[in-house]
Amino acid sequence: MTSSPSKSAPRLKMQVSEGIDMLLHLFEKAGQRCYLRKIMTAKSNGQITVHSKEQMLQKFEEADFIDCRVNAYPTQRSDRTIDKQRNIFFSSLSRSTMKVPTPPHRKTSRPSGPIAAPLHKAVNP
C-alpha cells in the first residue's frame, strides 16, 4: 500500500532541503568535505553512502522523511588518507518542549564560536 502525497509534502521537502543546506554549511565551516557521507533512514537497512545533496534528499524522500540521519563526519577516502577533523556537536532540540532552566553562571543563552550565527539562525527562524 502506498500513501498518497499530502498537500504539505512539497513544503516538507523544501524544509528538509534547507536543513540539509544548513548541515552542509556547518560541515564546511568545520573544515570538512561534504561528500562522501553516510546517511540512514527509517527504511534503510543500515548506512547508505551518498555522493550529493540530491541523492541525500532522494533517500530521505523515499523514507517519507522519517528518522533521517546524517553522519557528522565524511567517509574515509578510498586512498585511505585521513582528513583531520574538528569536533562537531549536534543535538536535536525543540524549543517548545525544553523546560531546562538556564544555569545562573551563564550570561547568555545564545551559542558562541564559529557556528553561532548559522546555528542561531536555524533555531530562531
The domain limits of the chain are: 33-76
**Residue 88: count of CB within 10 angstroms of its CB:** 14
Q: What is the pLDDT of residue 58?
A: 96
pLDDT tens across 28-64, in order? 888 888 999 999 999 998 999 999 999 999 999 999 9
Helix-, strand-, coil-residue percentages of the chain, each rounded to 5 = 30, 10, 60
pLDDT tens across 96-105, in order? 554 555 555 5
pTM of the full structure: 0.61
What residues contact 38, with CB distance under 8 A and at least 6 apart? 47, 48, 49, 50, 71, 75
